[in-house]
């Protein structure tokens, strides 16, 4: 299975059920306990693989957080997915986007005293967000849905360097 195969996948998909059973994963239901009209969500985590899954209120895949951890066991996901690159730096990701003409957004944030650089590649039905701390890749996030429709998202068209 490839990480992007999760897009549109139901929480009760046989492949996901097998994966979650193999790693003894507990699925946590999170509901709007504070009555703020927030949608319900389901979370599942496989710490040994650095993965956290988020499903929407309909139990459909929404987001996958992929922390950079060393995996010394069986890897259930195909790492050769050309659609998900592992960029060693933000500069490398930006250069790739310029060369390929990918739609991207980029930025920096200070979160709890930690400087974070990021770049998000935006596609029609998903986005891939790369987060860097101390110039090292910390996490890749796959989010299902049209990134252009996200509130506050200003999409930039990467242009080749002159």
Q: Residue 80 falls within a domain, yes or no?
A: no
What pLDDT score was predicted for residue 11? 96
- Sign, CA dihedral 6-10-14-19, equals positive
Structure tokens at 114: 């930690």
Domain that residue 28 falls in: 1-70
Q: Residue 79 falls within a domain, yes or no?
A: no
CA distance 124 to 57: 22
Question: Could you tell me the mean pLDDT of each successive run of 10 residues in the chain, 162 residues long?
Answer: 90 94 95 92 93 95 90 75 88 95 93 91 94 93 69 33 27
What pLDDT score was predicted for residue 37? 92
Q: Residue 76 falls within a domain, yes or no?
A: no
CA distance 47 to 66: 10
Contact status, residue 40 vs residue 55, Cβ threshold 8 Å = no
Provide the number of structural domains found in the chain: 2
Radius of gyration of the chain (CA): 17
Same domain, 91 and 46: no
What pLDDT score was predicted for residue 153? 36
CA distance 73 to 65: 19
CA distance 48 to 153: 32
What pLDDT score was predicted for residue 78? 76
Altogether, the residues listed in the chain come to a count of 162
Contact status, residue 128 vs residue 74, Cβ threshold 8 Å = no
pTM above 0.85, yes or no: no
């Amino acid at each position: 299975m490839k990480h992007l195969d999760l897009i549109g996948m139901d929480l009760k998909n046989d492949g996901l059920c097998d994966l979650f059973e193999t790693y003894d994963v507990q699925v946590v239901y999170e509901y709007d306990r504070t009555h703020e009209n927030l949608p319900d969500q389901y979370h599942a985590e496989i710490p040994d693989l650095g993965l956290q899954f988020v499903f929407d209120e309909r139990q459909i895949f929404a987001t996958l957080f992929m922390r950079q951890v060393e995996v010394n066991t069986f890897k259930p996901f195909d790492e050769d997915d050309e659609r998900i690159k592992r960029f060693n730096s933000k500069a490398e990701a930006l250069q790739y986007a310029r060369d390929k003409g990918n739609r991207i957004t980029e930025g920096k944030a200070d979160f709890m005293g930690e400087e974070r650089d990021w770049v998000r590649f935006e596609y029609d039905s998903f986005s891939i967000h790369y987060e860097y701390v101390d110039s090292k890749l910390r996490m890749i996030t796959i989010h299902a849905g049209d990134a252009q429709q996200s509130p506050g998202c200003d999409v930039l068209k990467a242009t080749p360097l002159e």
